[in-house]
Amino acid sequence: MLAMWLCLIAIVVSIVIGWKFKQNTGIIAMVCAFVIGIGVMGMKAGDIINFWPTTIVFYLISISLFFTYANDNGTMDVLGHKILYALNGNAKLIPLAIFLVSLVVGGLGAGASTPVIVGPFLFLIGLSANVNPVLIAVCIGYGNTIGSGNIYNGYGGMISKSLIEACNYSASEVNAAGNFVWLNSCIAFILSVVIFYIFYKGYKAKRVAVEKPEAFNPLQKKTMVIVLIAFAFMVVPALLNAWVKNDVVAAVANFCQPQVIMFIGALVCVLMKIGDEKKVIKSIPINTIVMIVGVYTLICVAKEAGLVDAMASLLSGTIPKFLVPAFLILFAAFLSFFSSCTSTVMPLMYPLVPGLAASLGLNPVMLFACIYIGGLSTAMSPFSTGGALTIASCADKDVKENVLPNGMIVASLVIPLICAVLATIGVFSFFHI
């Protein structure tokens, strides 16, 4: 029990120190994991190192290697401009366009980099049409969240899928659960964006002139072809394997795993001289990887100390059954307000699901979805990576300093409440594995 409480304190201290002093939370968490695991629990250093989430780290490296080529040569930027130009300056649709551009760019693998890639010109266009800057930020943030939630090449979706797999579900159950969690998050965040669109009167935005975007240059055309082919190889075999029971299809689907295809795609980019390989390798998000490894390892030590059993007992014995989904959302939202959903909240709370589902008779997909949605519902927090990058991408100094921070804090408080209500009335209970 002492070790469990020390782990809990260490998790909070790591997050607070990391946020307050701008230090990598993962390094602090890793030190705490070694001190508590070896000094208090009598574990060996090798046992703690074995907790490292190699699958998640491999995903992050493969995503960065492949999609950085498209980011660096401007392919994503031109794609975003083309989507906006297709609206022909209809300002009422600009929030929708901002949402869709962020969704597409995030869905194609940009992940946490999406606000940096598309934010500057999306804010410029939105503000010129008098679209409320908080609405612009919400559309960027949750468009990217939905796009990145797909389980085939999305940053958040693939991490979610790998954590569900770690809960010892079968391969077919993992794929189904991953897709259903994503569908539930689409419902929650699309509804949230619509509510903010109505509240901030996006339908009253003025018409704005949008210049015709540049055509894809030859290098960008090659990049788009490679990205689309890679996306097809990641998605189509997996979908066929879900519907067609055939050994050949299963073998192809087994080979066409996202991390495999993205490494092949990165090699193709190198051979076709799409970008500078050395520059791309330097772009691998080491800070993010260290944070995820450190926090995940500390959480695994906490699990060994009995944290999962203690939380399961609290949820199954103290909180009324019908409030458990809402509690999961609000608790996940609280944890991720100052930290990362993918590196902190999901690794901590996903292992609770099998036990809770069994003891309370609740749908495990719904429980996974509540944790995922709750953790990402505070994606607009200025203290989180996504929120900070979104604010930084706005070129208007007054808006950046005086409007966005407070407005995005409000959004990060309101959206979890919307999601908690949806969970309580059973919106996330339609899908099963």
Residue closest to 372 by CA, chosen among 148, 153, 196, 193: 148
Question: What pLDDT, on the 0 to 100 scale, is given for residue 116?
Answer: 72
Question: What pLDDT, on the 0 to 100 scale, is given for residue 37?
Answer: 95
CA 75 vs. chain centroid, Å, equals 22
Q: Look up residue 52 and give its two tokens.
A: 């490292």
Question: What pLDDT, on the 0 to 100 scale, is given for residue 338?
Answer: 66
Question: What pLDDT, on the 0 to 100 scale, is given for residue 117?
Answer: 74
CA dist 273 and 250 (Å) reads 33
Residue closest to 152 by CA, chosen among 63, 266, 264, 53: 63
Question: What pLDDT, on the 0 to 100 scale, is given for residue 391?
Answer: 83
Model confidence pLDDT, tens digit, residues 375-417: 999 988 876 777 877 887 887 878 887 889 889 989 999 999 9
- pTM as predicted: 0.74
CA dist 20 and 297 (Å) reads 22
Q: Are 420 and 330 in contact (CB under 8 A)?
A: yes
Provide the residue-wise pLDDT of the chain in tens; the chain has 433 residues: 789 899 889 988 887 887 778 788 889 999 999 999 999 999 999 999 998 878 767 877 887 788 778 777 888 778 767 766 776 667 788 898 889 888 988 887 667 767 877 787 788 778 877 889 999 999 999 999 999 898 877 778 888 998 998 888 888 889 899 999 999 999 999 999 999 999 988 877 666 666 787 888 999 999 889 988 987 887 788 768 767 778 888 898 889 877 788 899 999 998 998 888 888 888 777 877 887 788 888 888 988 888 777 877 777 667 888 899 999 999 899 878 766 788 778 888 898 898 888 888 899 999 999 999 999 999 888 767 778 778 878 878 788 878 898 899 899 999 999 999 999 999 998 887 7
At 344 the three-state DSSP class reads helix
How many other CB atoms are there within 10 angstroms of residue 276's CB atom? 15
For every residue of 42-102, DSSP letters joined together read: ---HHHHHTTS-HHHHHHHHHHHHHHHHHHHTTHHHHHHHHHHHTTTT-GGGHHHHHHHHH
Question: What pLDDT, on the 0 to 100 scale, is given for residue 86?
Answer: 76
Question: What pLDDT, on the 0 to 100 scale, is given for residue 46?
Answer: 93
CA dist 48 and 170 (Å) reads 26
Helix (H) / strand (E) element for 80: namely helix 75-85
Residue partners of 416: CB distance under 8 A and separation at least 6:
329, 330, 333, 374, 377, 378
Question: What pLDDT, on the 0 to 100 scale, is given for residue 366?
Answer: 95
Beta strands in 235-369 (DSSP E): none
Question: What pLDDT, on the 0 to 100 scale, is given for residue 253?
Answer: 83
Question: What pLDDT, on the 0 to 100 scale, is given for residue 41?
Answer: 94
